[in-house]
């Protein structure tokens, strides 16, 4: 059986090698690169991200990642965002009073969580939707989070009954926030599956298995 080919997008942000190793362990052939042709032709594209929203957007644009994501999704080609790589898929992010435009794949604003302790660091259970393909077999497991910002409301409504509504997974730290999204070829997690032990490996295996 051919192993799916995955590109981890190298735009100067994210735990690239840990994501690469985690994906390889669950059955993918992985290349870490910013090469446009490789990213377009891969079976799956992973967009990681750590740090500030604005810095990640600057890095994404520097390697034409905004166009890459658009072109892949237009062709129904899978994309997985991780941590800030998920956040930049929304319309905008606000940090320290500064608003930065995101990729705009989903409506919503990434803002600082209203919580007594920030950053939110540690293991949390999540609430996936019924029938989630991404969380199959790990619906009740814990995942590892490191963040202070998140999206706290989901604004994309289903408008066509023939098209499945996005599946939204929630978590709670001070307030409810979006922990993951499954929306056709576009999936994303606020937590780090590559740092989430067996549960994270199972989730990545679910995603890699869907690439065939």
CB 24 within 8 A of CB 6: no
Beta bridge partners of 115: none
Mean pLDDT of 106-135: 97
Question: Quick one: which of 66, 61, 79 has its CA closest to 182?
Answer: 79
Q: Which residue of the set 83, 105, 147, 187 is catalytic?
A: 83
CB within 8 A of 209, min separation 6: which ones? 27
Q: Which residue of the set 120, 147, 173, 192 is catalytic?
A: 192
Annotation: CATH topology of 5-209: Rossmann fold (3.40.50)
Kindly give the residue spans of alpha helices, DSSP state H, lying in the chain.
16-25, 36-41, 53-62, 65-74, 84-87, 197-209
pLDDT, position 163:
74
Q: Are strands 90-95 and 98-101 parallel, antiparallel or unpaired?
A: antiparallel
Instruction: Tell me whether residue 173 is one of the annotated catalytic residues.
Output: no
Residue 1 has pLDDT above 80, yes or no: no
Q: Which residue of the set 56, 173, 182, 194 is catalytic?
A: 194
Residue 159 has pLDDT above 70, yes or no: no
Residue 38 has pLDDT above 70, yes or no: yes
Residue 174 has pLDDT above 80, yes or no: yes
Q: How far apart are CA 196 and CA 143, in angstroms?
A: 5
Q: How far apart are CA 100 and CA 55, in angstroms?
A: 10
Q: How far apart are CA 71 and CA 195, in angstroms?
A: 29
* Arithmetic mean of pLDDT over the chain: 95
pLDDT, position 83:
97
Question: Quick one: which of 107, 193, 108 has its CA closest to 143?
Answer: 193
pLDDT exceeding 70 applies to what percent of the chain? 98
- pLDDT interval class at 162 (50, 70, 90): confident
In the chain, what are the domain boundaries? 5-209
Instruction: Tell me whether residue 194 is one of the annotated catalytic residues.
Output: yes
Q: What is the pLDDT of residues 86-102, one digit of tens each?
A: 999 999 999 999 999 99
Instruction: Tell me whether residue 187 is one of the annotated catalytic residues.
Output: no
């Amino acid at each position: 059986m051919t192993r799916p080919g995955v590109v981890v997008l190298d735009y100067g942000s994210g735990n690239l090698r840990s994501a690469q190793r985690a994906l390889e362990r669950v059955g993918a052939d992985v290349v870490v690169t910013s090469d446009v042709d490789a990213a377009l032709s891969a079976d799956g594209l992973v967009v990681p991200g750590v740090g500030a929203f604005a810095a990640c957007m600057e890095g994404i644009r520097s390697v034409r990642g905004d166009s890459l994501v658009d072109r892949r999704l237009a062709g129904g080609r899978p994309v997985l965002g991780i941590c800030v790589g998920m956040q930049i898929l929304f319309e905008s992010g606000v940090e320290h009073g500064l608003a930065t435009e995101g990729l705009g794949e989903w409506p919503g604003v990434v803002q600082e969580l209203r919580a007594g302790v920030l950053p939110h660091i540690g293991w949390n259970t999540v609430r996936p939707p019924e029938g989630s393909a991404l969380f199959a077999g790990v619906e009740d497991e814990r995942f590892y989070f490191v963040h202070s910002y998140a999206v706290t409301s989901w604004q994309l409504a289903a408008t066509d009954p023939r098209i499945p509504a996005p599946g939204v997974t929630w978590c709670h730290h001070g307030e409810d926030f979006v922990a993951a999204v499954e929306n056709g070829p576009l999936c994303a997690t606020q937590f780090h599956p590559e740092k989430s032990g067996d549960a994270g490996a199972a989730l990545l295996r679910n995603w890699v298995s869907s690439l065939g």
